[in-house]
Chains A and B, each alone.
Chain A
Amino acid sequence: MGPLSRETWAQRLGAFRASPSAFMAGPEGEDLGRDLLSELRSEKLSEQTKVSLLALSLEYPAQLWPDATAAEAAATSLLDTLVLLPPRPSALRRPLLLAATTALVAGDALGPTSEASRRLLPLLLGLASGRDLGRGFGPASEQRPLQATACECLRELESCKPGLLGGCLGLLRGLLGQEGPVQPLSLLLALALRNTLVIRARARAGLQGLLMAGDTPSGGDPWNWALAEEGDARLQPQAPSWPAAEEECGLAVLEPTPEEARELRAAVAQLLDTSYLLTPVAQAQLLWLLGWALRGLRGQTPVLFKPQLVRLLGTAQLTLLHAVLALKAAFGEALFTAQDEALLLRRLTVAAQHPALPLPAHLFHLHCLLSFPENWPLGPTAEEATPLLLGPRLCRGLLPSLLHDPMALLARLHLLCLLCVEDEEKEEKGQDWSPRHYLEELLAGLRQRAALDGGPRASATLCFQASHLVVQCLATQPTVLTPLTHGLARLYRARPVLAPHFVDLLDRVGPELGEPLRVALRQEVVSGPGRDEALRWHLQILAEVADGNAQSATLGFLGAAAAHCTDWGLQQALLRVCRALLRAGVGGGLADLLQALARQWEDPDGRDHARLYYVLLAHLAGPKLGVALGPSPAAPALASSLVAENQGFAAVLMVQEAPAPIRLSVGPHRAAGPGPVLQLHVEVLEPAYSLELRFRVEGQVYAPLGAVHVPCLCPGRPCRPLLLPLQPRRPAPTRLDVRALYTTPTGLTCHAHLPPLPVNFADLFLPFPQAPEGDKLGFFEELWDSCLPKGAESRLWCPLGPQGLEALVSRHLEPFVVVAQPPTSYHVAIRLPPDSRLLLRLEAAQEDGVPVALRTDDWAVLPLAGDYLRGLSAAV
């Protein structure tokens, strides 16, 4: 693209600023960054246009040069442009320095390997030191502003890479002592000092003479990338000179050597002594930085700040007073005696109401007053409270009146409430205008204003916000809440159109106000005729406040109102009240009303709903009904009550698929009874009612299994093992597919698929009926012989673990042993349902195993038996 004219650029910049994202997505977006850089060297454009291009790059570098490579290239190009400027005065040098700095930082390109960084940093330090950098850097008249700008750029680099200038502290001190511009150098030194102290303290390292004044630090390169890397791990919050935030940062403590301490004191004193030459906002920054720097130093008393305080306390500057508060928070009693604290509080109280200061400043000062960092706070520091030294006398001018702006009124009302709390704690002094009395009058005034017909919504909002604030602070004081309740009920009578505000208030206050206000509002509504213009609002209120109480009055009101609910909206509003009543468990009268509605209304939707509610009321038990009408768990945020409602029904009337809160496991084998029985252990993570477990046998090797029922299961409460009788069709292991059906405490019926349960071969083992006493061997031999020729025979090696044969038998085969001659020989007979047998002879155990002869009348059992025996030693 060729060179663009001034107008084209103005247009282009305008389009970009209107919506940067839209512009960058458009056809011109891609080239903008490149064009901008090349146009800066164009001789056709005026300096003013170029400054506006640079201004854009100062604000949107991430859009123009989105990655580190592009940012690096852009910074290089900007530096080239700077070097190529002719040696006459130019308005471009300052913005070029700022733009190069911004590009490097914003593009994450700043670092020891970045060529542009290695060009920019020495250039900035050279300019900041006031060194003659040659004709390319403009005439002498520009040196001073460039020096200041270079300091600002360095400060921004240090802010984003804390510790970067750790090696320049001495140099900066030297410059400040000589001819350098005071403010930029002071702020730069203070920031570098603070960062270095913090990083050193974390690393538990000393200052290592960093503060010693000197021209350039030894070793050539002044950039402390190593220190910056340490600092970069997490940028250092500046705020934590505030005690509350301090614990989170794990404020480390640095213990400087006496010599270092002296140097440090000298540096801080040097900065503070010339601080009056700084603008007020810069002074405030300096104080925040130095306060934070010294806070972590053991043995450094903050008295250095003392000479500044009186001067600072006298001013009207918001930032200065705020900085003093930061020092107060940082040093507490070490810097502020009790008298100083009282004076500071008084100045703050004055500033919070001084007619010469603007409202935002008043409000901020008031906030500071209620968050005042006391030397010895009584309550928790996180909450707003009146400081101990701020008595009712001092607050007198800070109390609210109806003439105040809403924000000021709320802020002052909060103070008044806090005073009322204290007032209540002391005893009632019998004065006419106690704070509480005044509070009541004020609230009445606010309600009166909110009651005005046609008044703005803002005054209603203010009234309810004030009521909410009062309830928050004074929830335990019936003397406040009772008149408030009555007042609000009267307000509703005067202006039912405020119903949404009432519903909102009821949703947000606790039972202290909520309970009586509900009763009062219900009373207010149901005692009315139920057919005026406000019916819509009455129904909205009733839907919120209707419960089991005052049923007949409520139903009477609804019955009367039904005839006037001629449109769909009103009918739905009335049905919402019915829902609320249903949920509250109101029965008989409501059924009549619903039936009447189902007959009476012409609108089919209203009629159907009334009928549906009636059916639900008639058929569902209380808890289930509650769930049916409760908020749907699936989509609680849906605006349409109907959709939400239908989902509620669907949820309760259908079975929900759910992840199982149930764990099932097979317990120890019980070898008794006519058939094999699985012992099941059930555990639940949440209560489950009417649990039904259904089993399906994989491969149909057993007959179908019956379901198991458990009435109620609770977490942590042990449950009797469940017995599941198996009817094998073949003696084979298998897996059981398990499904659970249960009801949750909220009344939903759920269905869950549980992990399959394994049934092992050994789970099927049954002993033979008792052999005749005395001739066990004969009994066994008879069984042994009967297996052949139909069955199968085998010999195998059963490995023995360290426990030996005796232990193995007693652990696994005990119930089935017919003849035992411990420790040498065992004859084992196992019955396998439905009608198979497995006979084992274990004899002459050796060091690591025992030979086993086995016979069965079912050849299919042979491999299973083999696996079983081989696995025995492993299955300890």
Chain B
Amino acid sequence: MAQRAVWLISREPGTPFCGTVRFSRRYPTVEKRAKVFNGASYVPIPEDGPFLKALLFELRLLDDEEDFIESRDSCSHINKTSVYGLLIGGGELWPVVAFLKNNMIYACVPLVEQTLSPHPPLISISGISQGFELLFGVQDFLSLSQKNDTELNTKLNQLPDLLLQACPFGTLLDANLQNSLDSINFASVTHSQKQPAWKVGTYKGKPQVSISITEKVKSMQYDKQDIADTWQVVGTVTCKCDLEGIMPNVTISLSLPTNGSPLQDILVHPCVTSLDSAILTSSSIDAMDDSAFSGPYKFPLTPPLESFNLCYYTSQVPVPPILGFYQMKEEEIQVKITVNLKLHESVKNNFEFCEAHIPFYNRGPITHVDYKVSFGQLEVFREKSSLVWIIGQKFPKSMEINLSGTVTFGAKSHEKQSFDEICIGGTAYLKLHFRILDYTLTGCYADQHSVQVFASGKPKISTHRKLISSDYYIWNSKAPAPVTYGSLLL
């Protein structure tokens, strides 16, 4: 259960190597074991240069897509997980755990404590999940409050010291690198016996607890007889508990109003000490019925110092917040569009913002637009071939708004217009972007009384809620649209 090496590679398309190794760390004592365990199938960890080349090739990130290359493009070369085999120096380096996120490739090679030929199933290799956890941890650390390249570089420079703390010999001790950073700084604090490893110090100051619930709603709407619209709410509850004492006990409860939608698929933070079986078993896989557990959802926990995601959940609300249709018809060089959006009456009509983005793929730049909107205003991005309908803070009293118009396109130039594999011909969508503060679609809330703190001093409790859209698509109902299996089960 250890890693043989870790890499961070920034992706740089257009440069000679298409990427640069920004960080790498090898673990020679683990390598020693790999040699014994893997026996004849052992392939040593390569130097950074060859590794970079082989990984980018395998991930299809080199600029050489032109030709059919059997070792990459063969139909039998099927990868179903983010675990790869890299051909290096005549051998296959396996398993390489790797993924691309925000132009950074995170990669590591877990130790496999047996022979590698044939490949043992991934589920039997303890280092695989640990490798993922390490990479996720690094990714979280890099993306946390990172705004520009300088900050990224600062964080990359901190990585060697952090891994010396969090993963000194290749065996991961803590995936939360921020915690390791704190522990370097907290070194002088005296520890008592029961100090948890995930909490490096104790809080001193005014007690306060902050809970914020963020719900994201996604939707696929088709406006078709034979295809069902789908929508889903995904909630994240983030907490920050500033409480004195080593192991303060806190219980946070989430509640629903009487007509609220039950929370499902609840995943909790490891600091939650026990879990009601009703919470554990409520799942979106099952058919909904009235007997579904609808809270309150109690989470007893001992909080860590830093802000943490107490839980994630999904929920199936009865109606989508905004229901709409989008009709688009092609007529030679122009398209006719009609959009109708209707806000459901139960939804709070007070947006921080609300916009409908209408992109046109695989076409030339927009040369002319004739349009009529019943509400809000339309912005035209000619070069990007897209329209943005700015709806603003409120829907009108009728709760229903329309847009109709004709868009004319110029000649297609291959360099500028982005290619899209899905939006071919009439297949097109509009995407809604909106945010409503102090509101959740499920109705889920945490009030001051729902928080019990077993620690000295009465804490100040603050709660926040918001609803934001995410992947909220309305597909052109006059053409085929990509569907999921769920949409077909009417």
Instruction: List the interface of chain A (C-beta within 8 A of B).
Output: 17-21, 51-52, 55, 58-62, 94-95, 98, 101-102, 105-106, 141-142, 144-145, 149, 152-153, 155-156, 159-160, 178-183, 234-240, 242, 244-245, 248, 276-285, 288, 310-311, 313-323, 325-326, 329, 343, 346-347, 349-351, 354-361, 363-364, 366-368, 371, 373, 382, 393-394, 396-397, 399, 401-403, 407, 410-411, 414, 432-433, 438, 445, 448-449, 452, 454-461, 464-465, 467-469, 500-501, 504-505, 508
Is the CB–CB distance between A326 and B136 below 8 Å?
Answer: no
Q: How far is the CA of A338 from the CA of B74 in the complex (A)?
A: 41
- Candidate in A179, A310, A314, A501 with the most chain B CB atoms within 10 angstroms: A314
Instruction: Judge whether B187 and A501 touch: CB under 8 Å.
Output: no
Tell me, in angstroms, the Cα distance from A17 to B22 when the chains sit together: 11
A438 contact set on B, CB distance < 8 A: 485, 488
Q: Which residues 27-61 of B have a CB within 8 angstroms of A?
A: 27-29, 31-33, 36-37, 47-49, 60
B275 interfacial contact with A, CB 8 Å: yes
A183 and chain B: residue at smallest CB distance? B197
Q: How far is the CA of A457 from the CA of B183 in the complex (A)?
A: 48
B176 adjacent to chain A (CB < 8 Å): yes
Q: How far apart are A361's CB and chain B's nearest CB, in angstroms?
A: 7
B129, A318: Cβ atoms under 8 Å? Answer: yes
Are the CB atoms of A433 and B36 closer together than 8 Å? no
Asked if A319 meets B129 with Cβ closer than 8 Å, knowing A59-B28, A397-B285, A500-B68, the reply is: yes
Let me know if B390 is at the binding interface, CB within 8 A. Answer: no
The answer for the CA separation of A368 and B81 in the assembled complex, in Å, is 11
Most B Cβ at <10 Å: residue of A95, A159, A281: A281
Q: Is the CB of A355 within 8 A of B234?
A: yes
Residues of chain A within 8 A of B265, CB atoms compared? 350, 354
A160 touches B32 (CB 8 A): yes
Given A314-B267, A366-B80, residue A355 in contact with residue B232 (CB < 8 A):
yes
User: Which residue of B has the minimal Cβ distance to A325?
Assistant: B123
**Alpha-carbon distance between A52 and B157 when the two chains are bound, in angstroms:** 11
| Complex contacts, B279 vs chain A, CB 8 Å | 314
**A182 and B126 contacting across the interface, CB-CB below 8 Å:** no
Task: Please determine whether A397 and B486 come into contact, CB atoms closer than 8 angstroms.
Answer: yes
- B172 A55 Cβ-Cβ under 8 A: no
Kindly report which residue of chain A lies nearest to residue B226, judged by CB atoms. A432
Within the complex, the shortest CB–CB distance from B289 to chain A, in Å, comes to 14
Verify B82–A363 contact, CB threshold 8 A: yes
Interface pair A315/B270, CB less than 8 Å apart:
yes
A464-B75 contact, Cβ under 8 Å, with A282-B173, A393-B285, A401-B485: yes
By Cβ-Cβ distance, the 4 closest A-B pairs, closest first, are: A356-B312, A316-B267, A183-B197, A242-B124
Q: State the Cβ distance, A505 to closest chain B Cβ, in Å.
A: 5
Give the A-binding residues of B (Cβ under 8 A): 1-2, 24-29, 31-33, 36-37, 47-49, 60, 65-66, 68, 70, 72-82, 97, 99, 101, 112-114, 120-126, 128-130, 132-136, 160-161, 164, 168-169, 171-176, 179, 183, 187-188, 190-198, 216, 218, 232, 234, 236, 265-270, 272-275, 277, 279-281, 283-285, 312, 314, 414, 419, 421-422, 424, 482-486, 488-489
Name B99's contact: one of A314, A359, A505 (CB within 8 Å).
A359
Write out the residue numbers on chain B whose beta carbons fall within 8 Å of the beta carbon of A358: 99, 101, 136
Q: Which A residue sits closest to B271, measured CB to CB? A: A276
> In the complex the two chains form, is A314's CB within 8 Å of B187's CB?
no
Contact B172 A281 (CB under 8 A): yes
Out of B1, B68, B193, B197, name the residue touching A178 (CB < 8 Å): B193
Given A315-B267, A316-B312, verify A310-B280 contact (CB < 8 Å). yes
Kindly state the separation between the CA atoms of A394 and B29 in the bound complex, as whole angstroms. Answer: 44
Nearest CB of A to B119, in Å: 11
Whether the Cβ atoms of B28 and A106 lie closer than 8 Å is: yes
A141-B188 contact, Cβ under 8 Å, with A315-B267, A504-B68: yes
A-B contact pairs, 26 of them (CB 8 A): A55-B164, A58-B28, A102-B169, A106-B28, A106-B32, A155-B171, A178-B193, A276-B196, A276-B273, A279-B174, A285-B130, A313-B275, A314-B279, A317-B133, A317-B270, A350-B284, A357-B267, A358-B101, A371-B122, A394-B285, A397-B285, A403-B422, A456-B65, A456-B421, A457-B68, A504-B74
How far does the Cβ of A346 sit from chain B's closest Cβ, in whole Å?
A: 6
CB pair A360–B74 under 8 Å, yes or no, is no
B197 adjacent to A278 (CB under 8 Å): yes
- Tell whether A401 pairs with B483 under 8 Å between CB atoms, given A364-B81, A468-B75: yes
- Once the chains bind, are A346 and B285 in contact (CB under 8 Å)? yes
In the complex, residue of chain A having the shortest beta-carbon distance to the beta carbon of B172: A281
Cα-based distance from A317 to B172 in the complex (angstroms): 14
Q: Which residue of B lies closest to A369 (CB)?
A: B123
Cα-based distance from A356 to B238 in the complex (angstroms): 13
How many Å lie between the Cα of A94 and that of B29 in the bound state?
Answer: 17
Residues of chain B within 8 A (CB-CB) of A183 are 173, 197
With A20-B47, A396-B486, A433-B488 as contacts: A414 and B80 at CB distance below 8 Å: yes
Chain A residues near B26 (CB, 8 Å)? 59-60
List the B side residues contacting A179 at CB < 8 Å: 192-193
With A159-B2, A316-B269, A464-B75 known, 7 other A-B pairs at CB within 8 A are: A149-B168, A242-B123, A279-B175, A355-B234, A357-B267, A410-B78, A508-B75
Which residues does chain B contribute within 8 Å of A467, judged by CB atoms?
75
A62 to B27, CA, bound (A): 11
Find out whether the CB atom of A19 lies under 8 angstroms from the CB atom of B80.
no
Residues of chain B contacted by A141 (CB below 8 angstroms): 187-188
Contact B47 A145 (CB under 8 A): no
Q: Does B283 lie within 8 Å of A350, measured CB to CB?
A: yes
B302 to nearest A CB, angstroms?
A: 8
Assess whether A60 is in contact with B123, with CB atoms less than 8 Å apart: no
**B75 A504 Cβ-Cβ under 8 A:** yes
Asked if A407 and B124 sit within 8 Å, CB to CB, the answer is: no
- Complex CA gap A359/B79 in Å reads 13
Q: Which residues of chain B are within 8 angstroms of A407 by Cβ–Cβ distance?
A: 79-82
A279 to B196, CA, bound (A): 8
Give complex CA distance A334, B213 in Å: 40
Q: B205 to chain A: closest CB distance in Å? A: 22
**Shortest distance between the CB of B239 and any CB in chain A (Å):** 15
- Expressed in whole angstroms, the Cα–Cα distance for A393 and B197 within the complex equals 41
Interface centre among A178, A181, A363 (most CB of B within 10 A): A363
Q: Give the docked Cα–Cα distance between A492 and B3 (Å).
A: 45
* Contact B80–A367 (Cβ < 8 Å): yes
Query: Is B122 in contact with A364, judged by CB distance below 8 angstroms?
Result: yes
CB distance from B145 to the nearest CB of A (A): 19
Partner of A360, one of B49, B99, B172: B99
Known: A182-B195, A183-B173. Contact between A461 and B73, CB under 8 A?
yes
Contact check: which of B28, B77, B126, B169 meets A322 at CB < 8 Å? B126
- Give A122 to B157 CA distance when docked, in angstroms: 34
Closest residue to B49 on the A side, CB-wise?
A19
Q: Say yes or no: B79 contacts A315, CB within 8 Å.
A: no
Report which of A245, A279, A310 forms a contact with B274, defined as CB distance below 8 A.
A310
Decide yes or no: A319 and B133 within 8 Å by CB, A21-B47, A242-B124, A360-B81 being known contacts.
yes
Q: Are A239 and B120 in contact (CB under 8 A)?
A: yes
Assess the B273–A239 pair: CB atoms within 8 A. no
Contact B421 A455 (CB under 8 A): yes
Q: Assess A402 versus B422: contact at CB under 8 Å? Given A178-B193, A239-B124, A407-B81.
A: yes
Q: Please give, as numbers and ranges, the residues of chain A lying within 8 Å of B198 by CB-CB distance.
A: 278-280
- A460, closest chain B residue (CB): B73
User: When A355-B234, A456-B65, A467-B75 are in contact, do A314 and B268 touch as well, CB less than 8 Å?
Assistant: yes
A252 CB to nearest B CB, Å: 17
B132 near A318 with CB under 8 A, answer yes
Contacts A235-B36, A239-B124, A349-B285 given; indicate if A501 touches B73 (C-beta within 8 A): yes
Across the interface, B267 reaches (CB within 8 A) one of A182, A343, A351, namely: A351
A278 vs B179: C-alpha distance when bound (angstroms)? 13
Closest Cβ of chain A to B390, distance in Å, is: 27
